[in-house]
Amino acid sequence: MGLIQNILAVIVVLGLLVTFHEFGHFWVARRCGVKVLRFSVGFGKPLWSTVDRHGTEYAVAAIPLGGYVKMLDEREAPVPEEQLSQAFNRKNVWQRIAIVAAGPLANFLLAIVAYWALFVVGVTTVTPIVGEVTPDSPAAQAGLSHGDEITSIHGDAMRSWEEINLKLVSIIGFNGELAVEAVPEGSSTPRLYQLPVSNYLVRQDPPQPLQSLGITPWRPDVPAVLGQVVDGQAAAQSGLQPGDRILSLNGEPVEDWMQFVAMIRDNAGRTLEVGYQRGDEQGTLSLTPGSNTLESGAEVGYIGAGVQQVSWPEELQREIRYGPVEAIGQAVSRTGEMTLLTVDAIRKMLVGLISPSNLSGPITIAQISGDSARAGMEAFVGFLAYLSISLAVLNLLPIPVLDGGHLLYYFIEVVRGRPVSEQTQAVGLRIGLAMVGTLMLMALYFDLMRLW
C-alpha cells in the first residue's frame, strides 16, 4: 500500500510541476506569435490527446517523468512559407529569451502560490525548545541548557525548528562563533550564546545541523509504537505491523522510540529477538535490520518503519498565519530564501563542502512525496513548493540541453550581435547530455544506496 501511495504521490507532484513549467513556455510562446505543435505531459506514446482550433495537440503520455512543448522551428523540420513568421527560430532574441525563461519562472510562481496558500490557511509549528544538550558540545560550551527557547540565529528571528534547520544548513562551512539568542526556562529575557564551530557540517552525510551543535529538540515522551511499516523492508518481513509496541530487544527493555532507533542503528545485519505487544497480546519474533553505509564508512541499521505520531502540548504549538495581502510578501520572501538556499547548496557541492551523496533522484522524490502526502496537506504543499523551486533552479543552470543552456546562447547572441553557430550548439548539446546523464545516474545510484 505504501508503494502505491508513493507512486501516486510522485505522479501528482511531477505532473503538477511539469504542467506548470511547460505551460509557462506555451503561454509566452503563444503571446510571441509562435505556433505550438504539441503540449505533452509525459514522454512516449500518448495515452490521450486532443487538438484545438489553433492546431496544437495536447497529450498525456505514458512516461510521467517530464514533458515538453514542441514549437514550429525550421531547425527541426521544413516550415511552409506562409508559416515562417510563426517559427520559433524566426523570432527576435528577446522573444526567444522570454519563451525559454517562462518555464522556470512558472515554477517560481507555483512555489509562491503554494506558500501563499499555506500562510493564508495557517502553518502549525512547534516552539523550538531545547531538550537535551550533549556534554562538551558547542551548545554546552556556550551555556545552552534544557528548556531554553531559541529565538534567533545570527540576528534572524526563529519561530520553529524548520526555520532553525534551514538557517543552519545555509551556513555550511562556517568557522567562528555562531550567535544564538535564547530565552532561558522560567525567564522572559533572551540571552546571547556564542557557539564555537569549525567547518560546520562540511561533507557530513547526511547533514545533522542540530546534532552537530549538541542540541536535541524537546519532544514529548514518544513510546516505541510503530506508525508505518514499509512493504518489503526488514520490519514488514519479520511480521511487525503498524500499531505494534516494542517491549524489548534481545531481552533488554525498550523504554521509548529513540532508544529503539539507537539499538537498531547499532545492530546492522544482526538478528534480534523482538518482544512486542499487539492489542492485548504479547509475542516475540526475529528481526534482522538492514545495513546502510555512510560516507564515513560506518554501518548503521534500519528496518523500514516509522513511529506512531504523538500529540504535542498546545502551549508548545504555534500557528503562523497571515492575511491574504500580507501573505503575498511572505510567500515571495520564502520562495526567495529557498531559491538562494538551493543555489548555495549547489555551489557548496561543487566546491566540496557538501557531499554529492546528498543528491536525490526519482526514488527519493517518490518516497518523500508519499511521506508528505501521508503527513497531511500542509506537508505535501510545502514539499511541492520546495520541489518546484528546485526544478526551476536546476533548469536555469547554464548547461546545454537545459533552459539555462539555451539562455546562455541567447545572451551570448545579444552581446555578439549574431547567433551562436549550429556547430558550437551541437557540441554543447553533446556535452550537456553527458553532464545531465551523469548527474541522473549519480542521483539514481545514491537513491539505491539509501534504499538498500
Q: Residue 247 sits in a domain of what CATH number? A: 2.30.42.10
- Out of 22, 149, 163, 181, the active site residue is 22
Write down the pLDDT at residue 1.
46
Residues 146 and 209 in one domain: yes
**Rounded (10°) angle between helices 422-451 and 403-416:** 150
Residues 253 and 190 in one domain: no
Output DSSP code: residue 231.
Answer: T
Domain membership flag for residue 159: yes
Query: Taking residues 259-271, what's their average pLDDT?
Result: 90
Write down the pLDDT at residue 367.
63
281/447: higher pLDDT: 281
Residues 291 and 272 in one domain: yes
Domain membership flag for residue 339: no
Count the Cβ atoms, other than its own, within 10 Å of residue 348: 19
Is the pLDDT at 353 greater than 90? The verdict is: no
Summarize pLDDT for 401-442 with one digit per residue, the tens: 899 999 999 999 999 999 998 889 889 889 988 988 888 888
Output DSSP code: residue 426.
Answer: H
Residues 244 and 276 in one domain: yes
SS3 268: coil
Domain membership flag for residue 9: no
**Sign of the dihedral defined by the CA atoms of residues 165, 170, 174, 179, in that order:** negative
Count the Cβ atoms, other than its own, within 10 Å of residue 232: 11
Closest CA to 388 of 117, 165, 93, 44: 117
Give the distance between the most distant pair of CA atoms in the chain.
83
Write down the pLDDT at residue 365.
64
Nearest-5° Cα angle at 320, 316 to 326? 160
Residues 135 and 175 in one domain: yes
* Domain enclosing residue 272, as ranges: 226-310
Residues 230 and 213 in one domain: no
Query: Binning pLDDT at 50, 70 and 90, where does residue 5 land?
Result: low
Residues 245 and 191 in one domain: no
Domain membership flag for residue 97: no
Domain membership flag for residue 79: no
Instruction: Give the end of a domain, one of 168, 190, 217.
Output: 217
Helix (H) or strand (E) holding 439: helix 422-451
Write down the pLDDT at residue 202.
85
Query: Binning pLDDT at 50, 70 and 90, where does residue 2 land?
Result: low
Domain membership flag for residue 254: yes
Summarize pLDDT for 101-123 with one digit per residue, the tens: 999 999 999 999 999 999 999 88
Phi-psi region of 402 (alpha: psi -120 to 50; beta: other; left: phi over 0): beta
Domain membership flag for residue 284: yes
Burial class (CB in 10 A: 0-12, 13-18, 19+), 186: exposed
β-partners of residue 132 are 216
Instruction: Give the end of a domain, one of 217, 238, 254.
Output: 217
Is the pLDDT at 248 greater than 90? The verdict is: yes
User: Looking at 24-33, 299-308, 335-344, 366-375, which range is the least confident one?
Assistant: 366-375
Specify whether the CB–CB gap between 119 and 333 falls below 8 A. no
β-partners of residue 183 are 149
Residues 169 and 230 in one domain: no
Residues 245 and 174 in one domain: no
Specify whether the CB–CB gap between 217 and 131 falls below 8 A. yes
Residues 196 and 270 in one domain: no
Active site residue 181: no
Give the whole-number percent of the chain exceeding pLDDT 90: 48
Query: Taking residues 186-201, what's their average pLDDT?
Result: 90
Query: Taking residues 137-162, what's their average pLDDT?
Result: 92
Domain membership flag for residue 382: no
Instruction: Give the end of a domain, one of 178, 199, 217.
Output: 217
Residues 242 and 173 in one domain: no
Write down the pLDDT at residue 370.
61
Query: Taking residues 3-30, what's their average pLDDT?
Result: 84
Q: How many domains does the chain have?
A: 2
Specify whether the CB–CB gap between 303 and 226 falls below 8 A. no
Write down the pLDDT at residue 84.
92
Residues 207 and 243 in one domain: no
Summarize pLDDT for 73-99 with one digit per residue, the tens: 998 889 899 999 999 999 999 999 999
CA distances to 210, 262, 292, 306 from 259, rounded to whole Å, are 18, 5, 19, 14
Write down the pLDDT at residue 364.
65
